Structure formats: C-alpha cells, structure tokens
Amino acid sequence: MSDAMKKRRVTLEEAKKAGGTKYREKVKKAIRDFEKLPEEKKHQSHLYYGYGKGKTTAAVGLAFRALGAGLKVAIVEFDKGYDVSREHYHERRIFAKLKELGYPVELYSTGCERMNEDGTFRFKNAEEDFLEAQRALKITRGLITEGNQDVLILDEFIAAANYHLITEKDVFDILDLYDRNRRFELVMTGHKLFKGLEERVDLITENKKVKHYFDKGIQARKGIEY
C-alpha cells in the first residue's frame, strides 16, 4: 500500500463525520422538507425508455425492491400476451411464486401471442391486439382510481403508443388520471418519447444501445432476454 493510500485511510467513525457542514445541513433540510410534503406530493412518476436492453429489467428490479420493503405492487403488461403453452417472459413465473408465498403483488398480462411457431416475431397489429390494448387501459384506470397498490408498473405502456396500439392522448389521459390520484408510485416503460411527454414525467431514464450482440446474430435467449 502506498503512503498516499495510507494517509487516506480513516476509521469508520471518522468517515461518518467527514464532509462539509453546509452539505450535511443541506441534505438534512431536504429530508425534513420531504417529510412535510402532503402524501400526494411524495409520489413520483418514472419512465424508462430507449432502444437499449434493460427497460423492463429495471422496472422488474424496482418491483422486487418494493416488495422487499413491504410495499404492494401491481403490474400491467401491455402487448405481452402468450398462448399458455409457450412463456416468453419468465419473470411472470417469479411474480406468481411470490404471490403464492404471500407477497402483495398483482400481475395483469394483456396482449396476443406475437411469437410465430417458426421463432419469428409478428409485427403486424391485428384487431385482437387493439382490443387487448383497450383492456389494458381499462385495468390501468381501475387500478389508478381504486387500487390499493404502492407501486403501479405499466410495462410497455409507452411502447403501445409508439406502435399505435393506443394513442398518445390515451397516455396523457392516464397521466391526468394519475395526477388526480397520486397515492402511489407510477412506473412506465417504452421505446421513445413523444411531444409533451417529458414535461409530464418526474423521472426519465434513457436506455441507450451502445453495442448489442443481436447485431452479430445472437438471438433472444431464455432467462436473459425473456
């Protein structure tokens, strides 16, 4: 160990006391101010978007953290249906098991199967896809107005608008409804922003693809991508 590194080593108690006084007071004030906020001001809206891998993964991770903290979680999946015999989103199995174990999680899956028998993906929207998207909106409205969840995750909600299963107005209507019922945290995922969305959401994280093995022919793999 170098002399410089030795000089930087302090005890845990010394480390706790380190840091500028002004900074510590600023943080303490922020904590006190937050506690004074009315309940509806404490809850925030999140959006994870982009063409990189990890949007649903982030939302699922937040759900696990919330459940671990004793919070109630509700998840509405837009356009993530399946034909029962083939599961393409294996996190659903974990949520089902957690519910069996008594964890307060409710999962609502909507949409039609998009994987073809030959392993290719169906991009074209059928009438049934639009009907399922409307069913997802109805479930979402009910949870916002009457649900007792602490965290509501709308997976692929923004993507449903990006790919015209629902309208951008539908998204803003849901956000309006949420603003009138801010008693829980709202989390959304999708692919791209559209005009006016950034101003309506409290936290936005972009998942940007820098490099992806898909580009060299590696397909989605069980347990990693689904």
Confidence band, pLDDT 50/70/90 cuts, at residue 7: low
- DSSP secondary structure, 92-160, as one string: HHHHHHHHHTT--EEEEE-S---B-TTS-B--SPPHHHHHHHHHHHHHHHHHHHH---SEEEEETHHHH
User: What are the Cα distances from residue 61, in Å, to 9, 67, 91, 96, 138?
Assistant: 34, 10, 10, 15, 25
**Domain boundaries of the chain, sorted by first residue:** 43-216
Mean pLDDT of the chain: 90
Give the integer Cα–Cα distance in Å for 224 and 226. 6
pLDDT tens-place string over residues 198-221: 999 999 999 988 898 888 888 878
Q: pTM here?
A: 0.87
Least confident window among 146-155, 166-175, 216-225: 216-225
Q: In what order do the strands lie in the sheet with 203-206?
A: 105-109, 73-77, 151-155, 185-190, 45-49, 203-206
pLDDT at 95 over 80: yes
Query: Would you say 46 and 203 are in contact if contact means Cβ atoms under 8 Å apart?
Result: yes
Which pLDDT belongs to residue 27?
81
Confidence band, pLDDT 50/70/90 cuts, at residue 97: very high
- H or E stretch including 67? helix 55-68
Confidence band, pLDDT 50/70/90 cuts, at residue 2: low
Confidence band, pLDDT 50/70/90 cuts, at residue 60: very high
User: Taking CA 206 as the corner, what is the angle to CA 148 and CA 107, rounded to the nearest 5 degrees?
Assistant: 30
pLDDT tens-place string over residues 181-194: 999 999 999 999 99
pLDDT at 85 over 70: no
Paired tokens of 182: 């801010």
CATH superfamily, region 43-216: P-loop containing nucleotide triphosphate hydrolases (3.40.50.300)
Confidence band, pLDDT 50/70/90 cuts, at residue 84: low
pLDDT at 70 over 90: yes
